[in-house]
Amino acid sequence: MFLQTLVTGLSIGGIYALMAVGYSLVFSVLGFSNFAHGAVIMLGAYLGLALAVKLHLGIGLVLVGSIVGSGILAVMNERLAYSVLRRRKAPSLYLMISAMGCSVFLENLVYATIGSRFYAFPEFFSRQVVQFAGSSLSLLDLAAFIVAFLAILALHVFVTRTKTGIAIRAGVCDMTMCSLMGVNVDRLIMVVFLLAGAFAGVAGVFLGVKYLVYPTMGWVTNKAYIAAVIGGLGSLPGALVGGLILGVVETFVSTYVSSVMRDVFSFTLLIALLVWMPNGLFGSDTEEKV
Amino acid sequence: MPALVVENLHVHYGAIHAVRGVSFTVESGEIVSIVGSNGAGKSTIMWTLARVVPLTGGTILLEGAPLPDLPHLVVERGVALVPERRRLFSALSVRENLVMGAYNRKDPAGAARDMERCFTLFPILKQRLAQLAGTLSGGEQQMLAISRALMSSPRVLLLDEPSLGLAPMIVETLMETILKIRDEGMTVLLVEQNAAQALDISDRGYIMETGRIVKSGTGRELSDDPDIRRVYLGG
């Protein structure tokens, strides 16, 4: 029971982490909370669903399709809604409001076109279980955790080992200086949204497979946002650890205390953490020397 | 051909007229300094040359051609800025800061050579390669800031207040290094409040007051000028 709960928690946490990465990437580079991220995740789930149901693709190709589609969507989102504000050097609050507008717009677009029905993915592997140490673990849960972990590891390698990745981290420190190094800032921000969108695609498919696909499914990203804040908004290891902690704590509370108490616990955790560690677990506040 | 010709430059920050019709020339291979007190508009000129701050009037020619109007294109054309207060990527390692400096280069061998050259100028950086830039001492940060700019292999180096916050002895070493860099063929535009030391190493200088250039001459002429001695050099 314990192991099973732990694996379920880790899989939910992994999905939170995937979503939190998208928040963290955009927040760290542009300094605003991109609340349209949930809507991109939702559209990624619909896209994955369409690929699975209409084209009968397997989970691998569904993931690839959703990654590509959501990546392009996120880039379009930035180009249409944020880039103009960015170039006018608008305060980040305006960007956040624009993001909220995008989120409401996209959700209602789905209501108006696809409708409010709840859709289920075809059974990929949700019924399959693996026996391990006397517990039966769901293959879906294991896959969600492993894919989330590998995706975040790959992103970590990208931002520490490649030139573009180092430029993203440099832009996080100081975007103006980054442009003075010869970096085309517009292109760099496009890469950031492409990455955030790709992660949204993976998260959307796993959310859809684990639960259901519906227009407001992106609201669960509120949890991912909490995960990102717990880990330290803007930190990659923080997004992973924050997501996993939140997922595990929630699952244990639902299993051993009461599922009604679950959200009370997550929000209490958030508030307590913000009181004691306002920068989150991995948040940094390095000051430059004068 | 002059490396840099600035003609009748105007810059506004909203209603504030920060730079008011400034003209100056930097010949290739010269060290030219712009000296003046806080708020005279010196840094604004530097940010305008880097195309971070838009100009509201005037022209800037780089080696006879108009200066491109985006920061990353200015770097490509061979101009590198070491800004006031250094503005390092503090959460990145020393090595990553240097890698960023060479971001646009297509010759990895040349970049590697330039990194070695930076270690010759500032040997301490080689020992600090893996350290985060934000943890360096003030002097080391300035060395890294200059090295980061050199990594783009510029022909014109813009140095904004390199002596700010550094101990006098370190400033002296720094000025010697600037001379050394120039002797290797670099054109240097230096902005300083520390007038004595800046004019000391400069071929020519300009004195700036409230957005205007009020005096110009060779470094020696300016540091011998009684008015300038009284206002900027403390007697």
The answer, yes or no, to whether residue A118 has pLDDT greater than 90, is: yes
Nearby residues of A243 by Cβ (< 8 Å), 6 or more positions away = A13, A14, A15, A16, A17, A18, A19, A20, A148, A224, A227, A228, A231
Tell whether B204 is covered by a domain: yes
CA distance A106 to chain B (A): 34
Per-residue pLDDT 10s for chain B (235 aa) are 899 999 999 999 999 999 999 999 999 999 999 999 888 999 999 999 999 999 999 999 999 999 999 999 999 999 999 999 999 999 999 999 999 999 999 999 999 999 999 999 999 999 999 999 999 999 999 999 999 999 999 999 999 999 998 999 999 999 999 999 999 999 999 999 889 999 999 999 999 999 999 999 999 999 999 988 888 877 5
The answer, yes or no, to whether residue A200 has pLDDT greater than 90, is: yes
The pLDDT, as a whole number, for residue A290 is: 39
The answer, yes or no, to whether residue A285 has pLDDT greater than 70, is: no
Residue contact B96–A178, C-beta within 8 A: no
Tell whether B100 is covered by a domain: yes
Tell whether B145 is covered by a domain: yes
The answer, yes or no, to whether residue A171 has pLDDT greater than 70, is: yes
Tell whether B25 is covered by a domain: no
Tell whether B122 is covered by a domain: yes
Query: Which CATH number is B202's domain given?
Result: 3.40.50.300
Annotate chain A with three-state secondary structure.
Answer: CHHHHHHHHHHHHHHHHHHHHHHHHHHHHHCCCCCCHHHHHHHHHHHHHHHHHCCCCCHHHHHHHHHHHHHHHHHHHHHHHHHHHHHCCCCHHHHHHHHHHHHHHHHHHHHHHCCCCCECCCCCCCCCEEEECCEEEEHHHHHHHHHHHHHHHHHHHHHHHCHHHHHHHHHHHCHHHHHHCCCCHHHHHHHHHHHHHHHHHHHHHHHHHHCCECCCHHHHHHHHHHHHHHHCCCCHHHHHHHHHHHHHHHHHHHHHHCHHHHHHHHHHHHHHHHHHCCCCCCCCCCCCCC
Tell whether B19 is covered by a domain: no
Residue contact B75–A182, C-beta within 8 A: yes
The pLDDT, as a whole number, for residue A266 is: 84
The pLDDT, as a whole number, for residue A284 is: 63
Tell whether B51 is covered by a domain: no
Tell whether B86 is covered by a domain: yes
Task: Name the band, by pLDDT with cuts 50, 70 and 90, for residue A191.
Answer: very high
Number of structural domains, chain B? 1
CA distance A167 to chain B (A): 7
Q: Span A87-103, mean pLDDT?
A: 94
Residue contact A182–B152, C-beta within 8 A: yes
The complex's ipTM works out to 0.93
Residue A268: both structure tokens together: 């209490």
The pLDDT, as a whole number, for residue A178 is: 97
Q: Which residue has the higher pLDDT, B111 or A140?
A: B111
Q: How far apart are CA B53 and CA A196, in angstroms?
A: 30
Q: Span A109-129, mean pLDDT?
A: 87
Task: Name the band, by pLDDT with cuts 50, 70 and 90, for residue A286.
Answer: very low
The answer, yes or no, to whether residue A21 has pLDDT greater than 80, is: yes
CA distance B206 to chain A (A): 25
Which of A180, A187, A191 to probe by mutation at the B interface, max B CB count within 10 Å?
A: A180
* Domains identified in chain A and CATH numbers: 2-126+135-276 (1.10.3470)
Domain that holds residue B202: 30-41+78-232
